[in-house]
C-alpha cells in the first residue's frame, strides 16, 4: 500500500497481521493497534509529544534493574496491575482476595521456623502475625508456603536500602497440620513509592501523592491450589482510601492490637486458597 492517510492507515497496519500464526497474539495486537491509533487521533498528538512519550518509555527501561522494576511501578500507579488482577482472579466464596505483587519482590527468601522474627530485633513496634491457611470450605491446608516481605520503618524495602541485609524483613513460613502459621515482625508503616524516576514525574504531573498505606506482602502457595498474591493492610492507616496503586480491599484490612501481656502487637488472619 502507498499514499496512506490518517483515515486508512490503521486498517493498513492491521492488514499486516494477516499471517500472524498465534491467534491470541493477533487478537491482542489488533486491539492494541486500534486503541493506540484511536488515542493519537483523539488528542491530536503532536510530533514533539510523541517524541517525549518515547523518551519517557526509554527512561523507564533505563530505571529497571535486578531489584527495581519501574515498568511494574508504572503499571501499578496507572491502575493496570489491579485491573489485570481483577480479571484474572475472580475468587469463589471463602477464598482470600488478591492484590498487586509490587515491584520489590525478590526470590530466595530463607525458609524460617514458626515464630521467627523477620525483623531480627530491629527498630519498630514488635508484632506477632498469625492465622491459618484454609480451603474455601474451612479445612486446613498443611504445608502451605507463605512468602512474606515488607518495608523497614524508614519506608524502604531491603533491596532499596544498602544499610539493610538483602533479606531483612523477608522470609518463608509453612503452615502446620492444622493450617496454622505464625511469625514475628514489626508493625508496617505507610511509605511513598519511588519518585526519583519516570513514575515520579507522571505522579507529579497528575497532582497525585505517592503514598501506599501500611501493609504486609504475602504470596501463599500450596500444591493443587491457586497461588495467592495479596497484602494485609493496617486498620486505620490514613492512606487506605487513596492508595497510589489502587490495591486496598476491605477484606484485607486487619487490626494490629496489643496482646494481653502488652509486650507486642498482634494481627491475625486466615487465608483461603482456591482449588485449581
Domain CATH for 243: 2.60.130.10
**Domain match, 140 and 228 both:** yes
* Buried/exposed code over 41-72 (b: 16+ C-beta within 10 A; e: otherwise): eeeeeeeeeeeeeeeeeeebeebeeeebbbeb
Q: Is the pLDDT of residue 92 over 90?
A: no
Q: Is the pLDDT of residue 66 over 90?
A: no
Q: Is the pLDDT of residue 1 over 80?
A: no
**Domain match, 144 and 26 both:** no
Q: Is residue 63 part of a domain?
A: no
Q: Is residue 114 part of a domain?
A: yes
Report helix, strand or coil for 232.
strand
**Domain match, 260 and 129 both:** yes
**Domain match, 38 and 83 both:** no
29: left (phi over 0), alpha (psi -120 to 50) or beta: alpha
| Count of domains for the chain | 2
Q: Is residue 52 part of a domain?
A: no
Q: Is residue 68 part of a domain?
A: no
pLDDT at 2: 83
**Domain match, 138 and 230 both:** yes
Higher pLDDT, residue 129 or 261? 129
**Domain match, 41 and 123 both:** no
**Domain match, 38 and 81 both:** no
* Per-residue pLDDT reduced to its tens digit, 47-64: 999 999 999 999 999 999
Overall pTM > 0.85: yes
Range of the domain at 244: 73-272
**Domain match, 223 and 101 both:** yes
Q: Is the pLDDT of residue 225 over 90?
A: yes
Q: Which residues contact 58 (CB under 8 A, 6 or more apart)?
A: none
pLDDT at 103: 86
Confidence of residue 262 (pLDDT cuts 50, 70, 90): confident
* Buried/exposed code over 84-108 (b: 16+ C-beta within 10 A; e: otherwise): ebeeebebeeebbbbbbbbbbbeee
**Domain match, 163 and 246 both:** yes
Question: CA 202 to CA 151: how far, in whole Å?
Answer: 23
**Domain match, 22 and 98 both:** no
Mean pLDDT of the chain: 95
* Per-residue pLDDT reduced to its tens digit, 207-222: 999 999 999 999 999 9
**Domain match, 19 and 102 both:** no
* Per-residue pLDDT reduced to its tens digit, 25-39: 999 999 999 999 999
**Domain match, 191 and 229 both:** yes
Question: CA 245 to CA 215: how far, in whole Å?
Answer: 13
Confidence of residue 43 (pLDDT cuts 50, 70, 90): very high
Confidence of residue 111 (pLDDT cuts 50, 70, 90): very high
Amino acid at each position: 500500500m502507498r499514499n496512506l492517510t490518517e483515515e486508512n492507515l490503521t486498517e493498513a497496519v492491521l492488514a499486516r497481521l494477516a499471517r500472524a500464526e498465534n491467534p491470541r497474539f493477533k487478537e491482542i495486537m489488533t486491539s492494541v493497534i486500534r486503541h493506540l491509533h484511536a488515542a493519537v487521533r483523539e488528542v491530536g498528538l503532536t510530533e514533539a509529544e510523541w517524541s517525549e512519550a518515547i523518551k519517557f518509555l526509554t527512561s523507564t527501561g533505563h530505571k529497571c534493574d535486578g531489584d527495581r522494576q519501574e515498568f511494574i511501578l508504572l503499571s501499578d500507579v496507572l491502575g493496570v496491575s489491579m485491573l489485570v488482577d481483577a480479571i484474572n482472579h475472580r475468587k469463589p466464596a471463602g477464598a482470600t482476595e488478591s492484590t498487586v505483587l509490587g515491584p520489590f519482590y525478590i526470590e530466595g527468601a530463607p525458609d524460617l521456623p514458626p515464630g521467627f522474627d523477620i525483623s531480627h530485633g530491629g527498630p519498630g513496634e514488635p508484632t506477632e502475625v498469625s492465622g491459618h491457611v484454609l480451603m474455601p470450605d474451612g479445612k486446613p491446608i498443611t504445608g502451605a508456603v507463605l512468602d512474606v516481605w515488607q518495608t523497614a520503618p524508614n519506608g524502604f524495602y531491603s533491596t532499596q536500602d544498602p544499610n539493610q541485609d538483602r533479606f531483612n524483613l523477608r522470609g518463608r513460613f509453612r503452615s502446620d497440620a492444622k493450617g496454622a502459621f505464625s511469625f514475628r515482625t514489626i508493625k508496617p508503616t505507610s511509605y511513598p513509592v519511588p519518585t526519583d524516576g519516570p513514575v515520579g514525574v507522571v505522579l507529579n504531573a497528575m497532582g497525585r501523592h505517592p503514598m501506599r498505606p501500611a501493609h504486609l506482602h504475602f504470596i501463599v502457595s500450596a500444591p493443587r491450589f491457586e497461588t495467592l498474591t495479596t497484602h494485609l493492610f493496617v486498620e486505620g492507616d490514613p492512606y487506605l482510601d487513596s492508595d497510589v496503586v489502587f490495591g486496598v480491599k476491605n477484606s484485607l484490612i486487619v487490626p494490629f492490637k496489643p496482646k494481653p501481656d502488652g509486650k507486642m502487637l498482634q494481627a491475625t488472619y486466615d487465608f483461603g486458597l482456591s482449588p485449581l
